[in-house]
Chain A
Amino acid sequence: MFWRRAAHGRVGFRRSLPELGLLLLATLVLLEGSVLPLGAASSPETGITPGAGVSHGHADKNHSETKHKKPFPVLGLNYDSVKTPFEISLWVLLASLMKLGFHLLPRVSSIVPESCLLIVVGLLVGGGIKLIREEVPPVLDTKLFFYCLLPPIILDAGYFLPIRPFMENLGTILMFAVVGTLWNAFFVGGFLFAVCQIPHASLSHIGLLPCLLFGSIISAVDPVAVLAVFEEIHINELLHILVFGESLLNDAVTVVLYHLFEEFSEAGTVTVLDGFLGVISFLVVALGGVLVGAFYGFVAALTSRFTYHIRVIEPLFVFVYSYMAYLSAEVFHLSGIMALIACGAVMRPYVEANISHKSHTTIKYFLKMWSSVSETLIFIFLGVATVEGPHQWNWVFVTATVILCLVSRVIGVVGLTFVINKFRMVNLTTKDQFIIAYGGLRGAIAFSLGFLLDIEHFKDMREIFLTAIITVVFFTVFVQGMTIKPLVELLAVKKKQEAKRSINEEIHTQFLDHLLTGIEDICGHYGHHHWKDKLNRFNKKYVKGFLIAGERSKEPQLIAFYHKLEMKQAIQLVESGGGSKLPSAMPSTVSMQNIQPKNQPPPPKPTERALPQLTKGREEEIRKILRSNLQRTRQRLHSYNRHTLVADPDEEGFQDIILKKQKMMELDRKIKEMANYLSVPSHPKDSPTMSRARLASDPQAYNIKLPAGGVPTIQVDLASPQSPDSVNLLDEIGKAEQKEDSGLMMKPPESNGPEKAGEKDGWRDQQKLTRCLSDPGPGAEEDEDEPFLP
């Protein structure tokens, strides 16, 4: 089925794309290769004289010809002072262009996961640089990796972590993360030590503790690799969260084991006390990391409560607080990853309730952007670092490592699942187990940890370790990464359900939650639901009031969800371009509102009610159109996944829509009143405002016209050949918006107050309308119009 996709595209165009890609690559390699030697060759003394760059050629001349007045350097070359930022930018540019390139080659990217392609690119670039310069810059510097490249990815993962499935499966995830990683580490380390004892392999200098250390490095499932590969295969949420959660939480175990074995590799022996301290250390590292993260999360949430007036720096708070959480955890040797996850997950509900939706969009896009670039860079650097070395290939060691990793992973998963299934509601099937085992990818974290090894203490072993780590990483990313997609298809593993979350699901989820809590209470059993309910109530009562500004703190979850859903569907309706056809799936409140005035319950067949009944004539039409269309259009909402972005239901326009919805409700009440008196057609000589106050007389197809530019508004024009005066009320509003540029404020119309009887009523209603429209409505805390943000 991968070949099906390749059938698109014109042949000529396609033929040129690989060439384009290669050309791009070659250009960049040459650029980097040629620029870097220039930097190296430039003379070290490049003082920055005021006004002009010192040309290198002149620098030499200056010594000998100080008395000569040299000509004013019109064009100089000063590479050294911009060297580092320049190179960084070049790398980032390379990464981004590569990403672009892959999407232009659909055939390749459907077979090979992006991570593999990126490693290959890295290899090529590394090779290219080596050829040109004989020396590759040490790009996968550990500090760079752990402080710059890793945090954005983890923050992105933590901020958008789906909390509910994560918490539901927390026990399972912890089992896999902690027990599974421990098992892997000891199994691999122990058996490798045994392998090292084989007389013919020249490995006898590797002791037990270094082996265990190696085991602990290589055993951890890597979140970056997992994210990169699992993103593309779209498996069901349960498996995704299990493997991904495991990869995140095993960081604590890795940190502890790494430090433990590293310390004791020097000492040479491990006692029981050390083991015990190790366990305590693990608890401290894990819980400490979470606490630090949670603390920063709360502080960030509290800060966001007060950002009412300066919306622009809201995203900055989110990023900086999270980064601080990470760094603070690293200071104390706690698990930085867990701190970051905890910070993101804790602050998210409160921050999102407080910030403007532009900030929300900014945060989302920035996180996705940074994490995307980071991930690309990591894989490219992995390729480059492979070329760089240092390597020492030892057949026995490397093959033993690869095989042992696979074997231990499989045994670990099967064994653990056997135990876990006794405690789970929904058991993990064999297929699930296979995917979990197969999805245990290693990645750049293992490599960086290997790099971190002290050169002094691990003299001969370091190269062997590094080579083995790289081999395992390559193996998992290439082999497992490439084959997991066809395997998922083959095994018919359940895929992610693309169905959007419906209002019924939400209602039932809440209902079931309460039901189960109630049953637990009746049984007298303090179970999982009981505590969750307690936590929710505590949250609602104290925490939300403290951390969320204004009215939003009281809004129940169901209402918030419903509003988001409505808004999303309204946007969809607008984008589908028509007010005339309502998609039948849209839960418009219109037709149901018709039922309200009736006293008897509606007829029992819901199917007949699915299509909106237009029997009430023009009023209903107006009401429908107004309700669903009176809002600002946004830029077209593309839906993305992680390499693209997930279209959340809580995207743009949320509070705006609520505002307008409330206005709409008032508006339609007014219209209802108006319909009672306005039936007199206006004179052509009437002021436009008066004629506009008349309702359209025919239910026509209304077109939504998007303006050419400027403030996005919606004007609803009549398509009918009827009198051009009978333009809808909306026009007035639309024009007012364009004029005013400040929300739905209408100045009272400037016309001379007409004295005619019929029109007087109309005028009165017009005024009523203007008044209702100028009422900002409850809770209008949103300042939409930032002049310097588009």
Chain B
Amino acid sequence: MGATQTRSGQEYQELAERTGFSAEQIRNLHKRFQQLSGNEDTISREHLKSIPALANNPIRKQIIEAFFDKRNQHGNELGSYEEIGFEEFLMVMSHFRPPTLRTTEEEKEAMRKEKVRFLFNMHDTDGDGKITLVEYRKVVEELLSKSGTIGQEAAKAIADAAMLEVASTNVPNMVSETAKLSRGKDCMVACCSAAVTGSCRSRAQMTSMKGLP
């Protein structure tokens, strides 16, 4: 592990502060990163595509894209990378941390918002800050893609219905966190939050990293 030995405890420390993981977890993730990248410094899309278990996942492409999306790096850039390093990998993973007993209410709110934004970015493929009907249709189509030959009609109908539903929820009453967010994003966030908190209570805080080998 030649070059990576320079990743001393200090660097881990810094990363731990930025992402909220513990040193142990970062070490584990680093090992996994090495495994995926074939001991190189960066990962490209092909590396992730080659994971055999992902082959059956209908939204594989979106997930892989999410890793390369600049918007998920807690910055304000748009666009996507070609390859990502360990830091970026870690940043994306940090979206999935659960809150501990010690996190305060505001921190929990912020985490929740972050997660919803991650989801939003996954849907908003052209990066304009809005989820259009076409993009949403694509989502539903992808979801149904592994399920065999269901007609385009059905996917379209479902996406349309969902969009109508979003539109009919109480958009005017929702207070947007920043004025910059567009209407579409508000709708989606409201819907996501509702869906996420309503139906997936425990999923709102996503996978715990504790079980990593």
User: Using a CB–CB distance below 8 Å, which chain A residues touch chain B?
Assistant: 168, 238, 421, 424-427, 497, 499, 501-512, 514-525, 527, 529-530, 533, 537, 554-556, 558-559, 562, 565-566, 584-589, 591-593, 595-596, 601-602, 604-607, 609-610, 665
Chain A neighbourhood of B164, CB < 8 A: 586-588, 591-592, 606, 609-610
- Given the known inter-chain contacts A425-B98, A503-B158, please indicate yes or no for A558 contacting B54, CB distance below 8 A: no
Chain B neighbourhood of A558, CB < 8 A: 140, 143-144, 147, 158
- B143 and A604 contact, CB distance less than 8 A: no
B150, B168, B183, B199: which contacts A604 (Cβ < 8 A)? B183
- Given the known inter-chain contacts A556-B148, A604-B184, please indicate yes or no for A425 contacting B208, CB distance below 8 A: yes
Chain A proximity of B62: nearest CB distance (Å)? 8
Chain A neighbourhood of B150, CB < 8 A: 555-556, 559
- A606 and B154 contact, CB distance less than 8 A: no
- B143 and A508 contact, CB distance less than 8 A: no
- B29 and A522 contact, CB distance less than 8 A: no
- A587 and B139 contact, CB distance less than 8 A: no
- B184 and A511 contact, CB distance less than 8 A: no
Interface residues of B in 83-100 (CB under 8 A from A): 93, 96, 98
- A512 and B203 contact, CB distance less than 8 A: yes
- A527 and B207 contact, CB distance less than 8 A: yes
Chain A proximity of B163: nearest CB distance (Å)? 6
- B101 and A589 contact, CB distance less than 8 A: no
Chain B proximity of A449: nearest CB distance (Å)? 35
- A511 and B139 contact, CB distance less than 8 A: yes
- B206 and A504 contact, CB distance less than 8 A: no
- B191 and A427 contact, CB distance less than 8 A: no
Flag whether B16 is at the interface (Cβ < 8 A): no
Flag whether B107 is at the interface (Cβ < 8 A): no
Flag whether B187 is at the interface (Cβ < 8 A): yes
Give Cα A737 to B207, complex, Å: 55
**Chain A proximity mask over B169-213: 1 for CB below 8 Å, otherwise 0:** 001000000000011100100011011101111110111110111
Give Cα A505 to B195, complex, Å: 5
Give Cα A507 to B143, complex, Å: 8
30 contacts between A and B (CB under 8 A): A502-B165, A503-B158, A504-B166, A507-B139, A507-B162, A509-B199, A512-B196, A514-B57, A515-B62, A515-B63, A517-B57, A521-B51, A522-B32, A522-B48, A522-B67, A523-B93, A523-B207, A524-B32, A525-B212, A527-B207, A529-B207, A556-B148, A558-B140, A559-B147, A562-B154, A585-B165, A588-B164, A592-B164, A606-B183, A607-B183
- Given the known inter-chain contacts A503-B158, A585-B165, A609-B164, please indicate yes or no for A518 contacting B211, CB distance below 8 A: no
Chain B neighbourhood of A518, CB < 8 A: 54, 57, 59-60, 63
Flag whether B160 is at the interface (Cβ < 8 A): yes
- A427 and B101 contact, CB distance less than 8 A: yes
Flag whether B161 is at the interface (Cβ < 8 A): yes
Give Cα A511 to B200, complex, Å: 11
Q: Which of B67, B96, B163 has the most CB of A within 10 A?
A: B163
Chain B neighbourhood of A533, CB < 8 A: 56
Chain A neighbourhood of B139, CB < 8 A: 507, 511
Chain B residue with the shortest CB-CB distance to A592: B160
Flag whether B157 is at the interface (Cβ < 8 A): yes
Chain A proximity of B5: nearest CB distance (Å)? 22
Interface residues of B in 134-152 (CB under 8 A from A): 134, 139-140, 143-144, 147-148, 150
Task: Please list the 3 inter-chain residue pairs (A to B) with the smallest Cβ-Cβ separation, ordered nearest first.
Answer: A587-B161, A592-B160, A556-B147
Chain A proximity of B134: nearest CB distance (Å)? 5
Flag whether B78 is at the interface (Cβ < 8 A): no
- B144 and A508 contact, CB distance less than 8 A: no
Chain B neighbourhood of A522, CB < 8 A: 32, 36, 48, 51, 54, 63, 67
Chain A neighbourhood of B48, CB < 8 A: 522
Give Cα A505 to B187, complex, Å: 14
Chain A proximity of B39: nearest CB distance (Å)? 15
- A610 and B198 contact, CB distance less than 8 A: no
Give Cα A585 to B56, complex, Å: 35
- Given the known inter-chain contacts A521-B53, A521-B54, A522-B48, please indicate yes or no for A514 contacting B59, CB distance below 8 A: yes
Chain A neighbourhood of B198, CB < 8 A: 497, 499, 505
Give Cα A425 to B112, complex, Å: 13
B140, B147, B167, B201: which contacts A426 (Cβ < 8 A)? B201
Flag whether B133 is at the interface (Cβ < 8 A): yes
Chain B neighbourhood of A510, CB < 8 A: 143
- Given the known inter-chain contacts A522-B63, A523-B212, A606-B184, please indicate yes or no for A587 contacting B162, CB distance below 8 A: yes
Chain B proximity of A754: nearest CB distance (Å)? 36
Chain A neighbourhood of B208, CB < 8 A: 425
Q: Which of B29, B158, B162, B205 has the most CB of A within 10 A?
A: B158
Flag whether B35 is at the interface (Cβ < 8 A): yes
- B160 and A589 contact, CB distance less than 8 A: yes
Flag whether B20 is at the interface (Cβ < 8 A): no
- A505 and B199 contact, CB distance less than 8 A: yes
Flag whether B58 is at the interface (Cβ < 8 A): yes
Give Cα A516 to B122, complex, Å: 13
Chain A residue with the shortest CB-CB distance to B29: A523
Chain A proximity of B82: nearest CB distance (Å)? 18
Chain B neighbourhood of A601, CB < 8 A: 132-134
- B160 and A527 contact, CB distance less than 8 A: no
Known: A515-B59, A515-B63, A527-B207. 4 other contacts (CB 8 A): A421-B101, A425-B208, A517-B57, A604-B183
Flag whether B117 is at the interface (Cβ < 8 A): no
Chain B neighbourhood of A426, CB < 8 A: 201-202, 205
Interface residues of B in 27-58 (CB under 8 A from A): 29, 32, 35-36, 48, 51, 53-54, 56-58
Chain A proximity of B142: nearest CB distance (Å)? 9
Flag whether B130 is at the interface (Cβ < 8 A): yes
Chain A neighbourhood of B60, CB < 8 A: 518
B63, B98, B140, B183: which contacts A507 (Cβ < 8 A)? B140
Give Cα A584 to B156, complex, Å: 19
Chain A proximity of B8: nearest CB distance (Å)? 23
Chain B neighbourhood of A527, CB < 8 A: 207, 211
Chain B residue with the shortest CB-CB distance to A169: B202
Chain A proximity of B181: nearest CB distance (Å)? 13
Chain B proximity of A288: nearest CB distance (Å)? 30
Chain A proximity of B116: nearest CB distance (Å)? 10
Chain B residue with the shortest CB-CB distance to A583: B168
Give Cα A556 to B144, complex, Å: 7
Chain A neighbourhood of B119, CB < 8 A: 508, 511-512, 515
Give Cα A168 to B202, complex, Å: 8
Chain A neighbourhood of B209, CB < 8 A: 523
- B167 and A559 contact, CB distance less than 8 A: no
Chain B neighbourhood of A505, CB < 8 A: 194-195, 198-199
- A509 and B195 contact, CB distance less than 8 A: yes
- Given the known inter-chain contacts A426-B202, A499-B198, A602-B132, please indicate yes or no for A507 contacting B148, CB distance below 8 A: no
- B202 and A511 contact, CB distance less than 8 A: no
A238, A508, A589: which contacts B161 (Cβ < 8 A)? A589
Q: Which of B119, B161, B162, B183 has the most CB of A within 10 A?
A: B161
Chain B proximity of A530: nearest CB distance (Å)? 7
Give Cα A424 to B208, complex, Å: 10
Chain A proximity of B102: nearest CB distance (Å)? 11
Give Cα A238 to B204, complex, Å: 15
- B160 and A587 contact, CB distance less than 8 A: yes
Chain A proximity of B90: nearest CB distance (Å)? 12
- Given the known inter-chain contacts A426-B205, A511-B139, please indicate yes or no for A589 contacting B157, CB distance below 8 A: yes
Chain A proximity of B31: nearest CB distance (Å)? 9
Give Cα A194 to B28, complex, Å: 52
Chain A neighbourhood of B51, CB < 8 A: 521-522
Chain A neighbourhood of B165, CB < 8 A: 502-504, 585, 587
Chain A residue with the shortest CB-CB distance to B54: A521
Give Cα A602 to B164, complex, Å: 13
Chain A residue with the shortest CB-CB distance to B153: A665
- B56 and A554 contact, CB distance less than 8 A: no
Q: Which of B58, B67, B143, B164 has the most CB of A within 10 A?
A: B164
Chain A proximity of B171: nearest CB distance (Å)? 6
Chain A proximity of B45: nearest CB distance (Å)? 12
